[in-house]
Amino acid sequence: MRRIDFIKLTASLGACYLAAFIGSIFTAPEISTWYATLARPSFAPPDWVFGPVWTALYTMMGISAYLVWREGLADPRVKAAMAVFAIQLAANVSWSAAFFGLRSPLAGLAVILLLWALIALNIQKFKEVSRTAGLLLVPYILWVSFAMVLNFAIWRLNP
């Protein structure tokens, strides 16, 4: 691997892990307090599942971004794809701020609907540059689809 590719891979992963860290600032203090008091549907996974799943997803997101970025920002498709990636990553953090930070399943639901649409657009844009990069985001949209249903159910159960 060339040095520049290593730097791009490290930066791509770093950006995703930074988003995870910022999101955790809103999330971590609320898990054993506010979130523990919420009524949850029977299909809600145990709390310990979320950490490993999100770690794997952020890793795949970082690798995906690297595969696109390594094609060079001189390519307008790469620029557009990376811009969408940055926006969806910000929306990802915003969900944690809305759901946990504001303690609002309704605000979380509004953000996660936007996030889902941005991930779908991100997959499309990444696939235009690298099929593999787009496919690496499929588990992410599947998990966010599940999270959206879970978020909706929590909102309905906690008026």
Categorize the per-residue pLDDT at 1 as very low, low, confident or very high, splitting at 50, 70 and 90. confident
Q: How far is CA 60 from CA 9, 26, 29, 38, 150, in A?
A: 11, 22, 26, 30, 22
> CB 134: neighbour CB atoms within 10 A?
20
Token representation of residue 1? 């691997």
Stated pTM of the model:
0.96
Contact 134, 27 (CB under 8 A): no
| pLDDT tens readout for residues 11-25 | 999 999 999 999 999
SS3 104: coil
SS3 84: helix
Nearest partner of 146 among 62, 52, 59, 50, judged by Cα: 50
Domains of the chain: 3-157 (1.20.1260.100)
